[in-house]
Amino acid sequence: MKVLVVNCGSSSVKYTLFEMTSEKKVAWGLIECIGLPQAFYKRQTINSAEKKEAVKVTSHTEAVELIIKGLLDKETGSIKNINEITVIGHRIVHGRDKFSESVLVTKTVKKGLKECFSIAPLHTPAHYAGILAVEKMLPGVPSVLVFDTAFHQTMPDYAYMYALPYEFYEKDHIRRYGFHGTSHNYVSQRAAVMLGKSLDKLNLITAHLGNGSSITAIEKGKVIDTSMGFTPLQGVVMGTRCGDIDPAIIAYLVGEYPEYKDGSVLNDLMNKKSGLAGISGLSADMRAIIQASSEGNKRATLAFKMLTYSIKKYISAYYGILNNIDGLIFTAGMGENSAIVRETSCKNLNALGIEIDVQKNNERSSEERFVSTENSKVKIMVIPTNEELMIAREAKKVLGG
């Protein structure tokens, strides 16, 4: 059984074809810079090295067409016939409060997805175009939508509501949604396997620390709180996003600077020019920040301290609301690869039973592993995330496979 995972971003389409018996990737790649004078098509298969070519692709529809043709190519393709693909899993960034689990695409589902356009205007129309393009290129092959927000839909109302006048929730659906749900879901399932217990018997904190970061409190397999909010801007300090700030700062900026009266300029400031990049004035990349800090750059050191301090605050707060935790999981670019980020974020949390083993933590590996001391009450784990595989599993599950 083969499952194709499609991830349509605002100007890119990524794809992975899985053979589900082995859960191995058969073919993968992406088309980026869609709509620009020159787009790029990168592709690779289990049997061939990466190929990259410049292409002219003006829409998501054209991108999907090119990808499917590539998969079917007689010489370099991975399938002979479209019927070899059993189901397509689409990554969808935002399902609002309409979608609390993965769903099979039907007319009603597509209508519901259209109603989510305004809440993620850069992504959802691109997802929608991708769904239509796949339907055109792979007629008769079912599609399943897998939402980044769905895993967080178990949060109680007192955790997802903002204390604004209630009508903004009713009219504009303003509430906390949370993101990276597919990743938090995947690593929590892997953690249960590593701990040898059923997920519904475990309390976990999962820290997805990449360029965008979010931390989630999971009680007996169900999310009860998460750091990202109405959008992925809230929460810990990120690569270019400010994370939590006093919302009155926004009103202040609008009052003081004419350019910020334009909401999109203000959004740009908080989403693209803040975080590690804004504080250091150097880079949004944690590797560059660590390097500059080691060379004595004070603002890089400050950016590092702010980011790890904000992670530590969320871990401590979520420990408090969970009362007791079995595992703390680090994943994504920084979480998987930066020993110093993990060590600093866990420092002096011994009172909570969180004790990192510095030596184990410093060992380089791309495998799932424990990095806590033997005596640590809370098991600290590093688990490489695999959102594509999770989407493929979800698609198979929805289809009844």
Residues lying near ligand AMP in the complex (CB under 6 A): 210-211, 239, 285-287, 290, 332-334, 337-338
In whole angstroms, the minimum distance from the beta carbon of 384 to ligand AMP comes to: 10
In whole angstroms, the minimum distance from the beta carbon of 335 to ligand AMP comes to: 8
In whole angstroms, the minimum distance from the beta carbon of 146 to ligand AMP comes to: 18
Describe the crossing of helices 248-256 and 263-272 by its angle, rounded to 10 degrees. 120
Of 138 and 187, nearer to ligand AMP (C-beta) is: 187
Asked if 241 and 274 touch (Cβ cutoff 8 Å), the reply is: yes
Residue of this chain nearest to ligand AMP (CB atom): 333
CA distance 362 to 371: 9
- End-to-end C-alpha distance for the chain, whole angstroms: 9
Of 143 and 297, nearer to ligand AMP (C-beta) is: 297
How many C-beta atoms lie closer than 10 Å to residue 101's C-beta?
A: 14
Which residues are CB-contacts of 169 (< 8 A; sequence separation ≥ 6)? 161, 162, 175
Residue 204 burial class via C-beta count within 10 angstroms: exposed 0-12, middle 13-18, buried 19 and up? buried
Of 89 and 239, nearer to ligand AMP (C-beta) is: 239
Residue 328 burial class via C-beta count within 10 angstroms: exposed 0-12, middle 13-18, buried 19 and up? buried
Options 73, 148, 244, 246, the catalytic residue: 148
DSSP-derived secondary structure for 248-274: HHHHHHHHH-GGGGSHHHHHHHHHHSS
In whole angstroms, the minimum distance from the beta carbon of 148 to ligand AMP comes to: 14
From its phi and psi, is residue 140 left (phi > 0), alpha (psi between -120 and 50) or beta?
left
- Known catalytic residue: 148? yes
In whole angstroms, the minimum distance from the beta carbon of 9 to ligand AMP comes to: 13
Of 66 and 332, nearer to ligand AMP (C-beta) is: 332
Of 261 and 287, nearer to ligand AMP (C-beta) is: 287
Catalytic residues: 148
